[in-house]
Amino acid sequence: MTTSIAPRRENLLARMRSGQRPPWMERPGWFGQGAKAAALVLIVVMVTYPFLLALGTSLAGQKELEARGGYVLIPHHPTVQAYNVLLQGGVVTRAVLVSIAITVIGTALSLLCTVTLAYGLSRPGMMFGKSLLMLVLGTFLFAPGIIPTYLVVQQLGLLDSYASLILPVLLNVFNVIVVRAFFQGIPDELYEAARLDGAGELTILRRLVLPLSKAVIAVAGLFYAVSYWNSFFNALLFLNDSGKYPLQVILRSYVVQGETINAHALGVNVLPPSISLQMAVLIIALVPILCVYPFLQKHFAKGVLTGAVKG
């Protein structure tokens, strides 16, 4: 067997030295390229079509919806009446503000706890570091259930407060492990040079580690932000006052459960079509994440390149 493998290895090395591609890296033919292009187009259509359908329906009027059977992809006479009704100071406006506040504050606190814990666990000389690491990893195997979590929140006096939407999910173990692994990949010579200059651990973290870790922190921050923004179950579980509900609970009420909007509570005489209001709430819930992601895309790409050139 070794005699048959050796010639193949020499042949492969010779092709690589001559600049030729290995067999598995050859450019695909026209059929392969066409299949890839068709698959990409199909994926783009599957992703964008529901969003465009919801957006078009939210901008359509009553007559156009009735003429096209309830859903409109491209409205001929678009109107923003549904958005004006929802964002003129009613339930949806308050829910949007609540979701933004919870997402911003929760993401900031989660990143602070994640970065500090990951940095401590990444340092080899930390006291009880291995025991704490095993305790953190143990939460993967023994996740708390709904009833224990509710009882803990109740005993801490956090029921019907915004803190109950942040503190129980403040740390995500997966993000901690990812950030810790990134910190461990920073060369030890940089840490030693900083200590020789008289820098303490806090200074090293703030002036050395954080500037080098923008990519992984951006990724963890996006994960936290999406989790806080899309969370609705904890609000249903811990909040009794419907006035404190975040946007996702309102979205669930209008779209999934089919609740109607009270026209008198909004101070209007005639409401837009219910399907337009539902799709408008859906678009309002999607737009913030769609607006934030492009600004973090460069950090994603930078993180990939950084991991590719590490030796």
Kindly state the average pLDDT of the residues 272-293: 85
Residue 218's H or E segment, with its range, is: helix 214-230
Please tell me the distance from the alpha carbon of residue 69 to that of residue 53, in angstroms, as a whole number: 13
pLDDT tens profile 23-80: 555 666 777 788 888 999 999 999 899 989 889 888 888 888 888 777 888 888 888 8
The CA angle 262-266-269, to the nearest 5 degrees, is 80
pLDDT of residue 178: 86
pLDDT of residue 182: 87
Please tell me the distance from the alpha carbon of residue 83 to that of residue 200, in angstroms, as a whole number: 52
pLDDT of residue 189: 86
pLDDT of residue 301: 58
Of the pLDDT bands very low, low, confident and very high (cuts 50, 70, 90), residue 269 is low
Q: Is the dihedral of CA 86, 89, 95, 99 positive or negative?
A: positive
Q: Is the dihedral of CA 18, 24, 28, 33 positive or negative?
A: negative
Of the pLDDT bands very low, low, confident and very high (cuts 50, 70, 90), residue 311 is very low
pLDDT of residue 194: 85
pLDDT of residue 14: 63
Q: What's 82-309's CATH class?
A: mainly alpha
pLDDT of residue 88: 80
Segments of the chain assigned to CATH 1.10.3720.10: 82-309
Kindly state the average pLDDT of the residues 161-171: 91
Of the pLDDT bands very low, low, confident and very high (cuts 50, 70, 90), residue 308 is very low
pLDDT tens profile 223-266: 899 899 998 899 999 998 888 899 998 888 877 766 666 655 55
CA distances from 85 to 46, 88, 277 (A): 30, 6, 8
Cβ atoms within 10 A of the Cβ of 285, count? 21
Please tell me the distance from the alpha carbon of residue 66 to that of residue 28, in angstroms, as a whole number: 49
Please give the single-letter amino acid code of residue 132: L
Is residue 283 within 8 A of residue 54, CB to CB? The reply is yes
pLDDT of residue 27: 67
First to last CA, the chain: 33
Lowest mean pLDDT: which of 34-38, 72-76, 197-201, 292-296? 292-296
Kindly state the average pLDDT of the residues 124-130: 77
Is residue 175 within 8 A of residue 224, CB to CB? The reply is yes
pLDDT of residue 310: 45
Kindly state the average pLDDT of the residues 90-102: 89
Please tell me the distance from the alpha carbon of residue 107 to that of residue 170, in angstroms, as a whole number: 8
Of the pLDDT bands very low, low, confident and very high (cuts 50, 70, 90), residue 298 is low
Of the pLDDT bands very low, low, confident and very high (cuts 50, 70, 90), residue 133 is confident
pLDDT of residue 274: 82
pLDDT of residue 13: 61
- What SS3 string covers 10-37? HHHHHHHHCCCCCHHHCCCCHHHHHHHH
Written as six digits, the tokens of 268 are 């209007």
- Looking at per-residue pLDDT, the higher value among 272 and 10 belongs to 272
Cβ atoms within 10 A of the Cβ of 266, count? 18
CA distances from 202 to 60, 108, 109, 119, 153 (A): 55, 18, 17, 10, 32
pLDDT of residue 5: 57
Please tell me the distance from the alpha carbon of residue 154 to that of residue 108, in angstroms, as a whole number: 24
